[in-house]
């Protein structure tokens, strides 16, 4: 990879935009700042960035509208939401609309860079496997084999119920990405599961973690994003 990866930052707060641009520049990314939704879309088309950082509170348009425009395009570029702390429901909405991840203001450079690396890795994986359905997912010493319907931890095979396996499968395919409760419920229990069934998901997740011998205070595989959903940790 010789060419610098380009990141578009759609954020109207100058201080945050400058902070991000400096951090990205120092880490060998090409940063392109946009200060409104309209400018963001126009720079998106002129620079075709590898990733977009998107603030939801923009002066001219709703950040969610920008996200909808981006997701309406044929090329699916990773989008990380820059969110204010008190905007929980907006974050969930953005994730359900196809955002890859989010960072909450104020965030540190290392957190931002980790999220960016993870989203770019995922996007590379998707590009590499375009049209090819992968069968085996490896996360640390956890192996999820979709074809064999088998999960192993080190050398040990772990037995899951049908629904537990579906959850693990979903998390492994999207490793690194936050999956919202509704997203998981819909994929595992179907579109009519309703959002009142978070409890059944929590019970299943507790069983999965017990079988994976997770220490709840220091999860190795599955991280809880409080009030949002779950994320399979990929590094
Ligand atoms: Ca803003």
Q: What is the pLDDT of residue 94?
A: 94
Distance in angstroms (rounded) separating the CA atoms of residues 192 and 14: 43
Distance in angstroms (rounded) separating the CA atoms of residues 210 and 230: 16
Q: What is the mean pLDDT of residues 146-169?
A: 93
Question: Residues 200, 93, 43, CA angle at the centre, nearest 5°?
Answer: 145
Distance 9 CA to ligand 1 centre (A): 12
Distance 225 CA to ligand 1 centre (A): 23
Of the CA atoms within 13 Å of residue 35, those in its CB half-sphere come to: 7
Distance 58 CA to ligand 1 centre (A): 5
Token representation of residue 140? 């640390």
Among 12-26, 36-50, 99-113, 120-134, the minimum mean pLDDT is found in: 120-134
pTM, two decimals, is 0.77
Task: Give me the chain's average pLDDT, please.
Answer: 89
| Per-residue CA distances from 14 to 11, 55, 198 (Å) | 8, 12, 39
Give the DSSP letter of residue 116. Answer: H
Task: Provide the sign of the torsion angle of the four alpha carbons 186, 189, 192, 196, taken in this order.
Answer: negative
Give the DSSP letter of residue 62. Answer: B
Q: Which helix (H) or strand (E) holds 124?
A: helix 109-128
Distance 26 CA to ligand 1 centre (A): 24
Chain centroid, CA 132 distance in Å:
21
Token representation of residue 107? 């965030």
Distance 191 CA to ligand 1 centre (A): 34
**pLDDT of 198-207, one tens digit each?**
888 999 999 9
Distance 174 CA to ligand 1 centre (A): 28
Q: What is the pLDDT of residue 88?
A: 80
Distance 163 CA to ligand 1 centre (A): 40
Distance 186 CA to ligand 1 centre (A): 31
Number of helices (H) and strands (E) in the chain: give both, helices first.
8, 12
Distance 35 CA to ligand 1 centre (A): 9
């Amino acid at each position: 990879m010789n060419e610098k990866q380009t990141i578009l930052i759609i954020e109207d707060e100058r201080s945050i935009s400058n902070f991000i641009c400096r951090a990205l520049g120092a880490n060998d990314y090409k940063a392109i700042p946009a200060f409104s939704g309209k400018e963001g879309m126009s720079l998106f088309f002129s620079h075709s960035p590898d990733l977009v950082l998107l603030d939801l509170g923009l002066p001219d348009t709703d950040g969610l509208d920008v996200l909808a425009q981006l997701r309406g395009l044929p090329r699916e570029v990773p989008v990380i939401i820059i969110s204010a702390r008190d905007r929980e429901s907006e974050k969930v909405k953005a994730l359900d609309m196809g955002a890859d991840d989010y960072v909450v203001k104020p965030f540190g450079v290392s957190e931002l860079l980790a999220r960016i690396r993870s989203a770019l890795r995922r996007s590379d994986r998707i590009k590499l496997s375009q049209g090819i359905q992968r069968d085996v997912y490896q996360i640390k010493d956890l192996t999820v084999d979709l074809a064999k319907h088998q999960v192993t931890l080190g050398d040990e095979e772990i037995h899951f119920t049908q629904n537990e396996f579906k959850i693990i499968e979903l998390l492994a395919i999207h490793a690194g990405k936050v999956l919202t409760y509704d997203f998981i419920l819909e994929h595992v229990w179907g579109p009519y599961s309703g959002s009142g069934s978070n409890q059944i998901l929590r019970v299943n997740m507790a069983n999965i973690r017990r079988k994976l011998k997770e220490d709840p205070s220091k999860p190795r595989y599955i991280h809880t994003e409080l009030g949002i959903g779950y994320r399979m940790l990929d590094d």
